[in-house]
Amino acid sequence: MKAKPNRDIIPAGVSFEPANFVLIPGGQFTMGSSEDEVNYQNDEINHQVQISTFSISKYAVTVTEFSKFVEASGYQTGAEKKDFSESISNVEVNASNRENSYHKVSGKVRYQSKANHPVVHVNWNDAVAYCEWLSTKNDKQFRLPTEAEREYACQYPIPDIVKNIPIQKANFIVEKKPKRSGTVPVDSFLPNDWGLYNMHGNVFEWCSDWYGGNYYHECNAQGTVINPAGPAIGFCRVIRGCSWRTFAVRCRSNDRYGSTPDFHYNTLGFRLVFDA
């Protein structure tokens, strides 16, 4: 099991605004995995990272929040422009089943029962566009978390999540147990020690970084890396967390994926970081 990271002490009087954001004290930690960890991947090699203090949302961006952006700006998501986005329910592929997004491809308004679910079928470009709109609207800076920030804020040791976490604690697949058929509200289940909800399960989440298969090896060779933000260029953006379609073995704080910025799916959403 990983040792807990060394954390900075937050100075007295520091603001925790805006609402529903948590101030995470910076510190140094071991990012990635060791070879003896369950489901270790070669792109997860351990390396030392120093993170500055940052604020991250308690929840993934919801259907309601994204709806306000679309209604105010007239924005069209990548899925809308294609009039197509895959949704998987068991083994069936449905091109237009988007009730968890802000509305369906057909243009019908989303179900009210899904208003507090995470928005899905949003690609990386859509998530960045939302950040830019919210930043302009509030005259403050919102962005996607870096891969390092999200792992630092996740901090759920691998043996606990793989062996012990029950289906009642997160929205993921457990073999031989009842399977959920989609997302749940963003405030479902207990938060982690930081007060963040669904850092494991419910939906995968976009990060700001380009994905690099050798990037961790490069960082490890440098020693302690300060606020890493990923490779300078790339083909895919980083995806972190896991979803309602993920088995427990992939519900790890250091499990990582990459996908093209135009990729959208019914298991993929995002959350925000706030820069004061």
Query: pLDDT of 65-111, one tens digit each?
Result: 998 999 899 998 888 887 655 543 332 333 344 444 554 434 444 55
CA distance 206 to 210: 10
Tens digit of each residue's pLDDT (9 = 90 or more) over 152-164 = 998 754 445 555 5
Per residue, the 3-state secondary structure of 22-70, as one string, reads EEECCEEEEECECCCCCCCCHHHECEEEEECCEEEECCCCEHHHHHHHH
What's the topology of domain 6-59+135-275?
paralog of FGE (formylglycine-generating enzyme) (3.90.1580)
Tens digit of each residue's pLDDT (9 = 90 or more) over 178-208 = 566 789 999 999 898 899 999 989 999 999 9
* pTM metric for this prediction: 0.87
Q: Where are the domains of the chain?
A: 6-59+135-275
What does the DSSP 8-state code read for residue 173?
B
Q: Is it the case that residue 124 has pLDDT exceeding 90?
A: yes
Q: On the CB side of 115, how many CA atoms lie within 13 Å of its CA? A: 5
